[in-house]
Structure 1
């Protein structure tokens, strides 16, 4: 994977966090989204996801020098994948869609999105060129 592709992967990860949250949460006003999984996706949780997005973008040009921070990104994404699996096993996605379409979309895709970027960050973390 080329350095430019990796840089763009970090930017894409960041933008998906930032815009995914801001769009689906209707600029942090979507009570259905926040109340469906409040311990993870409450107001503070959504702000945190946006901040993680900015962190991914911030290291997009220097990821080689912050290998262990990229490792933290792997663990952070794993936590969200586990939270999503827990949600999918314990709640009704259909009920979320009935209350709010954008919240339903968010809960449909956030686990797959986080799994994808967790694998991307793991690949970057394990690359031999990292310092």
Structure 2
């Protein structure tokens, strides 16, 4: 994977966090989304996701200098994948969709999205480990 493609990957990860939250939460006003998983996707959680997105973008040009921060991104994405799996196995997506389509879309895809970016960050982290060897 080229350096330019990795930079774009960080931007894509950041923008998907920022716009995914803002669109699906209707600019933090979607009560269905906020209430479906309040410990993870309440106001504080959604704002945190936006901040993580800004963090990804902020290191897009210097990711090779902050290998351990990229490692933190891996763990952070793993935590969200685990939270999503917990939600999917204990809640009804149909119920969320019936209440609000965008909330349903969000809860359908956020785990898969985070899993894909967890793999991306893992690749970047391991690439950084090999480059230093």
Normalised TM-score (structure 1): 0.98
How many residues matched?
131
Q: Which residue of 2 aligns with 1:110?
A: 110
CA shift, 1:42, in A, is 0.3
Root mean square deviation of aligned Cα: 0.9
Per-residue deviation, residues 50-109 of structure 1 (Å, max 9, x unmatched):
000000000000000000000000000000000000000000000000000000000000
Does residue 122 of structure 2 align to residue 122 of structure 1?
A: yes
Q: Does 1:54 align with 2:54?
A: yes
TM-score by length of 2: 0.97
Instruction: Summarize the alignment of residues 47-86 of structure 1 with structure 2, pairs less than 5 Å apart.
Output: 47-86=47-86
Runs of 4+ in 1 over 6 A off after TM superposition: none
Once the two structures are TM-superposed, the CA of residue 111 in structure 1 deviates from its matched residue by 0.2
Point out where structure 2 has 5 or more consecutive residues left out of the alignment: none
* 1:130 to partner: Cα distance: 5.4
